[in-house]
Amino acid sequence: MSSSFNFEAFNLLEDNEWDEKIVKQNQQFDQLIEDIAIWPTTLPSPLATQTARAKRRYIERKREEGHDTIFEQYFAEDPIYPPDFFRTRYRMRKPLFEKKMNKLIDTDNFFVQKRDATGRLGMSAIQKCTTAMRMLAYGAAADLHDEYLRMSAQLIRKSLIKFVEGVISNFGDEYLRKPNEEDLARLLHIGEQRGFPGSRNDINVLDQSPVFDDILEGRAPKVNYIVNGHEKNIGYYLTDGIYPQWAAFIKSIPGP
């Protein structure tokens, strides 16, 4: 009887200890769940971390000097460099560049020179358009123009994007379309006055230009002119010997 009582007492004690252990584990589990629930609020915000990392130091670039330098070189009444230098640097004549720049100023507030909170003038349209043209002409990295134009790489890239978008929007219908019959007649007349000089002897032009696809498929605009007594009704291109034997190619240069 005593032995049976002791055995039952031992089992009861063991059950109580097990129950206490289960209760303790449940409490620990509940605390873990609570900690997980509030854990994200105790961490720094990812956006705040990114903002802290993205913080850039201010560099006084003396942007006014950048504008004054390029203005004196190319845009002053008596510039340092003559028009042929301008055409070489900008890949176009000065009147055409100014026409595009003035149109962008009229249609996009980004190119309007504005004052900041201190009353100081920001980057000029000349600086923004010049850096875009330099990148298009030479394909250099944005930060390479910083020292000359006194502009950050971020602003240079934005100027390039805005310049390209503005040119396409304002001049695409005039300059970025395929030539029509009127254009071809005008070009033929100009070429006749000049004695038909020059050629494009890069075979890659043939592979990449959609103009030649139109010629091959018979969709090219019709033009009429006479060469050596023979009447022609399709346009032609001056080439050299590396091009195929097409009626549209006049091989005026004997060797490539």
The beta strand positions in the chain, using DSSP E, are 225-227, 230-232, 237-239, 249-251
Record the pTM.
0.53
Question: Range with the lowest mean pLDDT among 151-155, 176-180, 209-213?
Answer: 209-213
pLDDT at residue 159, rounded to an integer:
92
More confident residue, 210 or 177: 177
* Mean pLDDT (whole number) for 10-26: 60
pLDDT at residue 216 greater than cutoff 70 = yes
pLDDT at residue 125, rounded to an integer:
94
The Cα diameter of the chain in Å comes to 138
Please report, for the chain, the start and end positions of each structural domain, with discontinuous segments joined by +. Answer: 63-175, 181-251
Number of alpha carbons in the 13 Å side-chain half-sphere of residue 240:
13
Tell me how far apart the alpha carbons of residues 27 and 21 are, in angstroms, rounded to a whole number: 10
Cα–Cα distances in angstroms (integers) from residue 52 to residues 41, 56, 59, 155, 234, in the given order: 18, 9, 18, 21, 64
User: What residue spans of 117-225 are helical by DSSP H?
Assistant: 125-138, 146-149, 153-175, 181-193, 203-208, 210-216
pLDDT at residue 237 greater than cutoff 90 = no
101 CB neighbour count, 10 Å cutoff: 22
Question: How do residues 125-168 score in pLDDT, each as one tens digit?
Answer: 999 999 998 888 887 777 777 777 888 888 889 999 999 999 99
Tell me how far apart the alpha carbons of residues 210 and 229 are, in angstroms, rounded to a whole number: 30
On whether the CB atoms of residues 153 and 142 are closer than 8 A, the answer is yes
* Mean pLDDT (whole number) for 206-220: 72
Whether the CA torsion 199, 204, 207, 210 is positive or negative: it is negative
Q: Indicate the pLDDT class of residue 29, thresholds 50, 70 and 90.
A: low
Number of alpha carbons in the 13 Å side-chain half-sphere of residue 76:
12
pLDDT at residue 219, rounded to an integer:
75
On whether the CB atoms of residues 238 and 196 are closer than 8 A, the answer is yes
Please name the helix (run of DSSP H) or strand (run of DSSP E) that holds residue 46, with its range, or none.
helix 46-54
